[in-house]
Structure 1
Amino acid sequence: MLPTTEFALLRRVATEQASGRAPSLSAAVVRNGELVWSAARGEVDGATPDNRTLYRIGSITKSLVAAVVMRLRDEGRLDLNDPLDKHVPGTEFGGLTVAQLLAHTSGLTSESPGAWWERTPGGTWTELNSSLGPNELKHRPGRRFHYSNVGYGVLGELVARLRGTTWLQAVREEILRPLGMSHTTDRPEGRHAQGYAVHPFADVVLPEPEHDAGAMAPAGQLWSCIDDLARWTAFVGGDTGEVLHPDTVAEMREAAVIDDSGPWTGGYGLGLQLAQVHGKRLAGHTGSMPGFLACVMIDPATRTGAVALANTTSGIGILSLTADLIAMADDHEPPLPAEWRPAPVDPALLELTGLWHWGPAPYHLRILPNGWLDLSPAVGTGRASRFRPLGDDRWLGLDGYYAGETLTVGRDSDGRPHYLDLATFVFTRTPYDPTAPVPGGVDAAGWQPMPER
């Protein structure tokens, strides 16, 4: 990036490390799938951390587990509406759905019963399951967002059973290896940061313990580095390789629930945390374990993302730092739009374009690349959606009010487009065309002045 941009980013990281008193802080900016800037402050083993220094990434682990669950869904091995009992029988909460567990709407308790799992070695799935009685369901399933580390321990067991291996091996084989995240591991290896708690009133530190969390490990076990998390950030933004279809990752980024504990600035999708900061809608995940803070976030609209890693229990605003790096990169060096070039278009689509009316309201239908369509109000705002071709004069709604609905072209006796049928709404070339199958029919007298009183 430009030297002025790099200095601004470095100053933001340096200020956070100094004011938050982090033993070390590493950060990076990702753009268009590539790591374009990185820097670190503080020390690990007497030297500045590099892009392969490992930090514990905590709950970012959940997103990787969620990606395996979505692969299972795409393969037809499970449905997101499946009850847990279908795949992991023998729990006290078998009616919870896979989607509810992914989105933290299951109502399950936030932490596993017993000693604090993040600082004490974990037990087996059998031990965890036996501790989860009816009282561990804290809310009616689907009622609200309630972050549940336990829920991801459960999802780890689901992955293990459907894959016939451990959750960790499934993540390694299906996510880490294909994406080239070769330095991400479950325990610290090679050069890694020691986790510390920093005394609140003195410049001294206390080492934090590191351990195997056992059955709770899918909620926050992994260690990673800037290089690997830059690749994961690009993945969340849509550069998915062969691991998942971009449409599936886009589905993971959709808000399944919002955190309404205050003004809405955040929510949760299917394994991905969402944040609205600086007018941007970001997706990724934060992570914390005793001695560590981590965050990966990306703005899919600009394809600019950021990573931040620190070896301190508290003191660093890890999400605000990451969001600031993204905003600063886009403000200092706004991404240029791709050059417009003429593209081949199916001539049969051209006759669909132009002005249509939903009742009296005018809409424009435009062609997008790959035969997609865009239907938007001609004036002002309203129900706008994009549509993907299904064949046979049918398109599937991708976003907005008509997401998931089907648009069908009705043709006249000469084969020309006559009307559009969209979820029972009929769009016509002229307002309320009497020759089209407008629901409820059209008054035979047609358009006329208001009757005099």
Structure 2
Amino acid sequence: MTTDEHDLLPATRRALLHRIAVAQAEGRAPSLVAAVVRDGRTVWHGARTSRDGDVPDENVQYRIGSITKTFTAVLVLRLRDEGLLDLQDPLEKHLPGTGAGRATIADLLAHTGGLAAESPAPWWERTPGTLRPELADVLGKEPLRHPVGRRHHYSNPGYSLLGAVVERLRGAPWEDVLRREVLEPLGLTRTTTQPEAPHAKGWAVHPWADALLPEPSEDLGLMAAAGQLWSTTGDLARFAVFLAAGDDRVLCAESVREMRAPAAPAEAADVGDGVTYGLGVQIQHRDGRLFVGHSGSLPGFLANLTIGIDDDVAAVVLANCTSGPLTAAVGADLVRIVIEAEPRIPEPWRPLPEVDPALLELAGPWYWGTSAFALRLLPDAGVALEPLRGQGRRSRFLAAGDGTWTGIEGYYAGETLQAVRRADGTVSHLDLGSFVFTRRPYDEGAPVPGGVDPRGWQGAGSA
């Protein structure tokens, strides 16, 4: 009997089931469902329920709350990629008269626009959106709580404004644009703005008794772009694959990477050290690993999507209770269980299909001053620059098509690497954002900034 290398081992599956069983029991959730994705496919689904005999499967809808924000951010990045807006545009350019117009589109995506965390009373999550028919009702008389661009302050009204920008530039309701541009291309047929059977009911669990109270399910109106969606573990698993790799029908891999890059530090008092925020996604380091995704909650529901990018493992956790299981911790644990129990099998090494002699000439050791680095060739004409000893700045670079490369990570992200050649065509040095890398430490034959002492390297007696 052979086993597909993508399948999880029985011991791993039991560990995953045990983790969600503990979360459901200790968190006192009427039901809890979860899924794990590895290498672009769903490899496990689990469910626990204490209410009835109908165990929810991957097609049962739960409300996902603020994971909706990630979907809205995708719509905004699509507008940017089409040239309809710039992330540095002030809101006023596209949505005048809000009172928050100095905040940029990027500020709103990263929650650095200075806006209030919530809309004015009554509590928007538990009351109908008809109570807030205009953006002025969402923002209130004083929309700002902090100077624009100065600090991360999570804002639900900020994403309401982004939804309005989408509607203004597309000339269609936010939910219609979302369905047409994201849900349908990705095959997310069970992600909707209103619940569609089968779906879970939302419950509040009494803090001191095993008793339940139904929670209302309201249409959020203008706040929809901040938290309206219902979805399933099946659909969110597919969405996780998209957030890890991109999909040219929706958003290219480069733009998805941009969403996952830190754009603002989160408030440590709220979410703990190690957490930052990108463009519509939360970013956290746990146990030396990088996780991205988003959590969500609305009365009656908790949700989390966690992706371990480097290991290509993701987890979805949904529960139908107002409070209880710590879904973000559960999601991170599910990812960790798979990573540790079944380390990723690397792809077989294969030689390059063809070698460019001019590119091969650049491979090998280079020196920035006296610091030794190595330049390695990557597939698709990319290169990696790494320190040869200890810690140091390292990055991968993608070919820009003009003989240069652009950094995609770390200190050199966005910086240009180029080989500078002499008149006879030989390589003089590498230039990386004004840093000069030479074949020998302080090579006197290269234009080292500040020059090289003509006496050259000296012993202690001549110093």
Q: TM-score over 0.5 for the alignment?
A: yes
Q: Distance in 2 between matches of 1:44 and 1:329?
A: 29
For residues 233-275 of structure 1, the C-alpha deviation after alignment (integer angstroms, 9 at most, x for no partner) is 1112125352111111111111111224245132210000112
Separation (CA, whole Å) in 2 of partners of 1:277 and 1:5: 20
For the residues of structure 1 that align with 2:362 and 2:438, how far apart are their CA atoms?
11
Structure 2 CA distance, aligned partners of 1:107 and 1:221? 23
Stretches of structure 1 lacking an aligned partner (at least 5 in a row) = none
Mapped partners of 1:127, 1:172: distance in 2: 23
**Aligned residue among 446, 459, 462 for 1:436:** 446
SS at match of 1:135: coil
User: After alignment, is 58-67 or 254-263 more displaced?
Assistant: 254-263
Asked if 1:346 corresponds to 2:356, the answer is yes
Displacement of 1:402: 1.4
Aligned residue number for residue 224 of structure 2: 217
1:265 corresponds to: 274
Which residue does 1:180 correspond to in 2?
Answer: 187
Match of 1:353, as an amino acid?
A
Distance 1:245 1:207, change over 3 A: same
Distance in 1, matches of 2:141 and 2:437, equals 52
- Are 1:409 and 2:419 matched, yes or no? yes
- In structure 2, what residue type is equivalent to 1:253? R
Q: Which residues in structure 2 correspond to 1:3-402 (within 5 Å)?
A: 3-42=10-49, 46-123=53-130, 127-130=134-137, 132-133=139-140, 135-240=142-247, 242-262=249-269, 263-344=272-353, 345-402=355-412
In structure 2, what is the Cα distance between the partners aligned to 1:15 and 1:101? 37
Amino acid at match of 2:423: S
Q: Deviations over 1:340-385 (max 9, x none)?
A: 1112232221001111111122111110111111111121111211
Q: Indicate the SS of the match to 2:444.
A: coil
Secondary structure class of the residue paired with 1:41: strand
**For residues 194-219 of structure 1, what are the alpha-carbon distances to aligned partners after superposition, in whole Å with 9 as ceiling and x for unaligned?**
10000111111000000110001111
- TM-score, scaled to structure 2: 0.95
Do the aligned partners of 1:256 and 1:270 also contact (CA within 8 Å) in 2? yes
- 2:3 equivalent in structure 1: none
Q: Conserved in 1, the CA contact under 8 Å of 2:403 and 2:418?
A: yes
CA distance in 2, matches of 1:85, 1:432: 51
1:221/1:305 CA distance change after superposition, 3 Å: same
Range 203-212 or range 393-402, more displaced:
393-402
Whether the 8 Å contact between 1:253 and 1:269 is mirrored in structure 2 is yes
What displacement does 1:278 show? 2.9
Q: Is the 8 A contact 1:112 1:128 kept in 2?
A: no
TM-score (norm 1): 0.97
Per the alignment, in what secondary structure is the counterpart of residue 82 of structure 1? coil
Distance 2:133 2:207 in 1: 39
How many residue pairs end up in the alignment? 453
**Bigger shift: 389-398 or 154-163?**
389-398
Distance 1:237 1:131 in 2: 33
Q: Which moved more, 1:430-439 or 1:57-66?
A: 430-439
Which amino acid is 2:411 matched to? Answer: Y
Aligned 8 A contact 1:163 1:170 in 2: yes
Q: Per the alignment, in what secondary structure is the counterpart of residue 294 of structure 1?
A: strand
Q: 1:12–1:397: structure 2 CA closer, same or farther, 3 Å change rule?
A: same
* Structure 1 segments (4+ residues) deviating >3 Å: 43-46, 123-126, 450-453
- CA change 1:265–1:426 in 2 (3 A) is closer
CA distance in 2, matches of 1:9, 1:218: 32
Q: Partners of 1:79 and 1:14 in 2: how far apart?
A: 46
Task: Return the alpha-carbon distance in structure 1 between the equivalents of residues 406 and 364 of structure 2.
Answer: 19
The whole-number CA distance in structure 2 between the counterparts of 1:327 and 1:441 is: 51
Contact residue 82 and residue 98 of structure 1 kept, 8 A: yes
Tell me: CA distance 1:313–1:361, structure 2 relative to 1, closer, same or farther (3 Å).
same
Structure 2, unaligned stretches of length 5 or more?
Answer: 1-7
2: CA distance, partners of 1:240 / 1:31: 17
Secondary structure at 2:114 match in 1 = coil
* SS of corresponding position for 1:407: strand
1:277 shift after superposition: 1.9
Identity %: 53
Query: Which residue identity does 1:169 align to in structure 2?
Result: D
Contact 1:179/1:241 (CA < 8 Å) preserved in 2? no
Report the CA distance shift for 1:256/1:450 in structure 2 as closer, same or farther (over 3 A): same
- C-alpha separation in 2, matches of 1:384 and 1:144: 29
| Mean Cα deviation higher: 208-217 or 377-386 | 377-386
User: Is contact 1:395-1:407 (8 Å) kept?
Assistant: yes
The residue type equivalent to 1:323 in the other structure is: A
CA distance in 2, matches of 1:77, 1:334: 43
Q: Structure 2: which amino acid aligns with 1:448?
A: Q
Give the counterpart letter for 1:40 in structure 2.
A
Tell me, what secondary structure is at the counterpart of 2:290?
strand
Amino acid at match of 1:339: P
C-alpha RMSD of the superposition: 1.6
Provide the secondary structure at the position in 1 that maps to 2:54.
coil
Q: 1:64 to 1:448 in 2, by over 3 A?
A: same
